[in-house]
């Protein structure tokens, strides 16, 4: 074989080898992403926290703190039943943060069943009704609780319990067919009730 022909064969072999390696790096359908290219990094300023509501609405705790406070403020002190005849089988406790405002929802939801629900209801009933709206209130902060007691007939008796300020304990609604229309009289949260609500 001549040297010129040998060089031609080596050159052709080299070209085939290079094309074979190039073909092995891709796929036949051509859908592979292109080789990595150097990119320019753009640093965006971090967003400032927005004033989005805390908590999320749920069927157990559907109201915002604004709605809870509005219902509590409507209470007529000195009117209502001394104790409630409601017979709960469960309770949902909706806890609102101490700093909750506007459209904030409950951030913690717990449930108690059976004896735990009736024990909590007994603490609510044990608080003595207050004839006049409290005027001596402290300035400390604390959570607001909505206690949604449920009975066997799916009736729901709701109380708002404030563990701060005037420590109001107010029945805000009674839902369900055939339920008595008179809400329990407004009262104040006792230390025992506050302690029980703090338990998980």
For the residues 96-111, what does the mean pLDDT come to?
A: 95
Residue 27: the pLDDT is: 46
- Element (H or E) spanning 196, and its range? helix 191-198
Name which residue leads in pLDDT, 122 or 53: 122
Report whether pLDDT(93) > 60. yes
Residue 140: the pLDDT is: 87
Name which residue leads in pLDDT, 52 or 140: 140
pLDDT-wise least confident of 8-17, 47-56, 70-79, 95-104: 8-17
Burial of 77 by CB count in 10 Å (0-12 exposed, 13-18 middle, 19+ buried)? middle
Residue 184: the pLDDT is: 94
Identify which of 126, 60, 138, 62 has the alpha carbon closest to the alpha carbon of residue 98. Answer: 138
């Amino acid at each position: 074989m001549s040297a010129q022909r040998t060089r031609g064969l080596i050159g052709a072999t080299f070209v085939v080898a290079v094309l074979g390696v190039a073909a092995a790096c891709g796929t036949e359908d051509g859908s592979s992403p292109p080789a990595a290219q150097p990119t320019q990094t753009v640093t965006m300023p971090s967003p400032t926290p927005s004033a989005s509501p805390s908590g999320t609405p749920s069927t157990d705790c559907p109201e915002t703190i604004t709605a809870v406070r509005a219902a509590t403020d409507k209470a007529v002190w000195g009117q209502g039943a001394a104790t409630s005849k409601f017979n709960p089988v469960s309770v949902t406790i909706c806890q609102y943060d101490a700093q909750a405002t506007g459209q904030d929802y409950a951030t913690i939801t717990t449930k108690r069943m059976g004896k735990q629900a009736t024990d909590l209801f007994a603490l609510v009933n044990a608080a003595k009704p207050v004839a006049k709206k409290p005027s001596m209130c402290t300035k400390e902060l604390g959570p607001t609780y909505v206690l949604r007691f449920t009975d066997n007939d799916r009736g729901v008796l709701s109380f708002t319990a404030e563990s701060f300020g005037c420590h109001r304990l107010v029945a805000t609604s009674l839902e369900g067919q055939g339920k008595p229309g008179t809400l329990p009289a407004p009262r104040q949260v006792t230390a025992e009730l506050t302690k029980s609500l703090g338990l998980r």
